[in-house]
A and B are shown apart, each in its own frame.
Chain A
Amino acid sequence: MKQDNRLDQPYVSIAPDGSLDHAPIEPGCFLGEDEVQPPLSLNEAMAKLKNWFRANSLNVLAYGTACGAIEMRPLGTSRFDMERLGITGAPTSRQANVLVISGYLSIKTLKRVIRAYEQMPSPKWTVGLGSCTIDGGMYWDSYNTIKQVDQYLPIDTYIAGCMPRPEALIAGFQALMDKIKAGEANGWNEYLENLEAYKAQQRKVINDWAMPAYNW
C-alpha cells in the first residue's frame, strides 16, 4: 500500500457527488539527508512552520479501541503528563488530529474506526499501538480480528509491545512529532490517493456495510 513518498503528485479527494477535488500539497517538505541544506524558499519555510505548529499541538481522539486504551489513560495523569508535549484529548472527530488504534481491531470496531477516521479533518495521523496492529499479535488466529491494520487504514507510527508502557507511548508520540516536523507523515494523503484500493480491502472483510461510501 505504501508508495514512494513523493509530494509532486497532487492528492485527490472525492466529494459526495462523485466529483474530484484537487488541491496542491505544500512542496518542499523534504530535505535531503546527506546533502548540504539549501536555503529555504518561502513555500518551504511556510511548510516547515505549519508542520511545527501541527506537531506541537496534537489532539488525540478520545476513542479507546481495545485493550491498549488502558495504557493511554495514564498518559493524561500527573505521573506521565502528556499535556507538557502539547497532546490533549478531543471528544469529537471533528476536532481531533490523531487516531490511536490501541490494540486488536475487530471487524465491528473497524467499521466504527473507519467512520471516525474519515470524519476527521486533514491533516490527520494514525498511531498503531501494540503488536496486534502490526501482525495480529496475540489474536493472530482469531476469526474476528484483522491481522494488519495497514491494509485498511494508513498508519504513520507503530508502537510495538503488548501493551507498551506509557514511557514507550511517549517515545512513540515523540517519534510521530519528529515525523510530522520532517514532513514525512502523509498517511492521509496516501489514503486519498489509493482510496479505491483501501475501500476494496475494507469491503472484503466488512460484510455488513451500513455506511455511506465515504464518511464526510
Chain B
Amino acid sequence: MRALETIVKELETRFGVISHREQRRDLGEVNIASQHVVAALEWLKRHGGYKHLTHLSVVDWLEDGEFQLTYLLTDPYAHHSLMLCTRIERENARAETIFTLWPEAVTYEQEINEMYGIDFPGSPRQGVEFLLEGWNDMPPMRRDFDTVKYCEDTYDFRPGREHVDPKEVRAKFQAEQKRLKAENTESPQ
C-alpha cells in the first residue's frame, strides 16, 4: 500500500495537480492538466514505480463539452493503482500518444479512435478498423449517438416483439407477493 499524498506531493511540485481523491486503499485518482500528461506518465513510470499500464479509457462529459482520458497505472510491488485523469476538448479532440512508453497503448488508442473519434497523432494503427467494419456513421460510443434510432433505421425488429420495462415487471411481482402474503396471514390454514 502506499499513501496517495506522497504521490500527489511529488506530482504537485513537478506538474501541478488540479484535484485528487482516494477511492480505495489501493486506488487513487489524480487530475492534472492535459499538457503535462505525458511527462507525468513518464515520471510515474520511471521514478514513481507505476510500471504497468492497466487501462486507458474515456469518459464523455457531454454537458461540459469535454472528454476525460483516464490512464490507469499499477505498481505491482506496492500493490497500488493510480488513475491519472485529464480533460481534453470535445471538438477536434486530440491527445498525445504514449505508445513510446508502453507499446500496448497502441491498441487502446486504436479503439478510442474508432469508438470516440479522438486522434492520437503519431500512434500507429490510427484509423485501422478494429471492431466495426465498414462503419460510416459518427463514432458510436459518444453520448450524442442515438443507438436506438440507428437500430430502427438499419435493422428490422421482429413483428410481434414486445418491449417490457423491467421496473414494471418487478413492481407487479412485488405487489403480487404482498397480496399473497396478506391473504395467507388473514386466513391461516
Contacts and interface: CB of A to CB of B under 8 A. Distances in A.
Q: Do chains A and B touch in the complex (CB under 8 A)?
A: yes
Interface of A: 106-108, 111, 134-136, 140-144, 146-148, 151, 204-209
Contacts of B131: 106, 108, 144
A205 B154 CA distance: 7
Nearest to A205: B154
Interface in B123-177: 129, 131-137, 140, 145, 147-148, 150-151, 154-158, 161, 163
B136 to A, nearest CB: 6
Main secondary structure of the interface of A (DSSP, over half): loop
27 contacts: A107-B132, A107-B133, A108-B131, A108-B133, A134-B158, A135-B157, A136-B155, A136-B157, A140-B157, A140-B163, A141-B151, A142-B147, A142-B151, A143-B137, A143-B140, A143-B147, A143-B150, A143-B154, A144-B132, A144-B140, A147-B151, A147-B157, A148-B155, A148-B156, A148-B158, A207-B135, A208-B129
Contacts, number: 58
A186 B157 CA distance: 24
A209 B133 CA distance: 9
Given A108-B131, A136-B158, A147-B157, 13 more contacts: A108-B133, A134-B158, A136-B157, A140-B163, A141-B148, A142-B151, A144-B131, A147-B155, A147-B158, A206-B134, A207-B133, A207-B135, A208-B133
A165 B156 CA distance: 28
A40 B61 CA distance: 72
B116 to A, nearest CB: 14
B160 to A, nearest CB: 8
